[in-house]
Amino acid sequence: MILAGYIASAVLLADNFHGHSSENPLRNWLIYIRMVNDESDRAKRSSTMVRMLDAGVLIMVFFFFFTTLLSFWLATLSMQEHYEKAAVADMEEAR
């Protein structure tokens, strides 16, 4: 369920991963809304905010995959230890 949320965020922000800020629709929309409300456009601040949002989503997706792989590795490690302990116990009982 969490992965679905991360993927949905990445898909919704897919148009905003441009290197040049003027190509990001979210940034342009934020500037337009501020100009309509007679506020300063704060173009540089909007660009930084959109880039940080994009970076945050990418970092969260990366950490999700990393922690998932780590949990699988730890689960298999504990299973191996469990089987080794069971084998040692069986060998001791056989003596």
The total number of structural domains in the chain stands at 1
3-class DSSP state for residue 44?
Answer: helix
Q: Which domain holds residue 15?
A: 2-94
Apex 21 CA angle, 48 and 49, nearest 5: 20
Both tokens of residue 35? Answer: 């100009």
- Beta strand spans in 1-95 (E): none
**Looking at 10-14, 19-23, 28-32, 55-59, which range is the least confident one?**
19-23
pLDDT computed for residue 66 by the predictor: 93
72-87 tens-digit pLDDT = 888 887 777 777 777 7
Segment 33-51 shows an average pLDDT of: 79
Q: Residue 2: which residues within 8 A CB-CB, separation 6 or more? A: 64
Q: Is the per-residue pLDDT at 90 higher than 80?
A: no
Q: Is the per-residue pLDDT at 50 higher than 90?
A: no
pLDDT computed for residue 88 by the predictor: 78
Both tokens of residue 7? Answer: 């993927």
Single-letter amino acid, residue 39: E
